[in-house]
Amino acid sequence: MSKLPSSGPLPRPHSPDEARDVLKDESFPAPDVQRITLEAREFTALCPRTGQPDFGSVEIEYEPAGRCLESKAVKYYLWSFRDQGAFCETLAARIADDVVYAIAPTWV
């Protein structure tokens, strides 16, 4: 899957890798945008030690270098971590790396 439906409910992501590609495919040109801040206040993943749900928030701030992330694709991407076991530090680094993969911003 490389494109999200334009309307209706989103399909559940199969994996963070698939969702990362959707993040890239759904990005759009925005040559005059200076800075973007996206917040997700209801982020969930699994604790890799206990398997219990971990709840938190995510803030993604970046300076585009010509392309921007589409917010629906970001929601889909973050949803892909719901059943993944990972520590928050690992997730922060992974999310930053995936933003770079998707849009190659000036900084993130």
Q: Which of 17, 47, 88, 97 is catalytic?
A: 47
Distance of alpha carbon 70 from alpha carbon 81, whole angstroms: 18
Instruction: Establish whether 47 is a catalytic residue.
Output: yes
Give the HSE-up count for residue 34: Cα atoms under 13 Å, Cβ half-sphere.
0
> In terms of Cα–Cα distance, which of 58, 76, 68, 60 is closest to 19?
76
Instruction: Establish whether 97 is a catalytic residue.
Output: no
Q: Which of 21, 25, 54, 83 is catalytic?
A: 54
Distance of alpha carbon 75 from alpha carbon 33, whole angstroms: 20
Distance of alpha carbon 4 from alpha carbon 107, whole angstroms: 26
Catalytic residues: 47, 54
